[in-house]
Structure 1
Amino acid sequence: MRSELLDVHTGRREVVFDLTRQCAEFVARVSDSGDGLLHVFVPHATAGVAILETGAGSDDDLLALLEELVPRGFGWRHRHGTPGHGRDHVMPALIPPYASIPVIDGQLALGTWQSICLVDTNVDNPDRQVRLSWLAG
């Protein structure tokens, strides 16, 4: 297995951060144009990885839906950080901190409109890491 960490600056606002380019570059470096799996993992308790369309409003829709389903104003028991930070700690139960993407002939086997995204609702932590791991087939 080959693995490396990406440093990602997400800032102090909720964000859906597209990682597809960095993932494709990693796969190009390590896959020898072969088949396998790319595993993407976020080693944080308040972020997740999602496969979705970006740039057409879906990323903003996802953040709005999460606010509707898991509002900051809920009476969270987990209370450190900014108001409503408890929601960030339950977010990985809804958006898991990992995804695995098939790789065929050294290319990510994503659908036409699919992107690999870091979903970060934690405004207290502007810097993240993402672990990319290559599992050859």
Structure 2
Amino acid sequence: MARVVGEGVSLNHIAIESSDIKRLTKFYKEMFGFEEVETPNFGDNHFKIVWMSLPSSSFLLHILQHVKNEEDDATPSSSVVKDPSCVRTGQHLCFTISNFHSFIQTLKEKGIEISETNSTIKRVFFYDPDGNGLEVVSS
């Protein structure tokens, strides 16, 4: 029998950079219930990193301290898109949430700008404090 490409594959983690890993760690804990887990020592950790997981899954989120480089100087910070309606067309993380309406209320109470869609699927788009696009759908 031929080996099927993709057989036994599962998502392990997503890594995102942050200018302030403490702030972003707090955001993902408060908004989605992530918990910090032990970060392995690979012997070459020359940067700060926080590993987080969702209690109900094996999925990991790695938040890495952004190290400024020459490319940062070439890209003005004003070029970051802040309009949440633009998240749909860009790269983003998507989470399914059972308490969708109370989650939306929490976003609004925290002053987080959102873009809701008029579709059969209840979903909302917004950015985390470092400008990473997020989508939340109702379960």
TM-score normalised by length of structure 2: 0.25
Q: Which has the higher contact order (CA 8 A, sep 6+)?
A: 1
TM-score by length of 1: 0.25
Write 1 or 2 for the structure with the bigger share of strand.
1
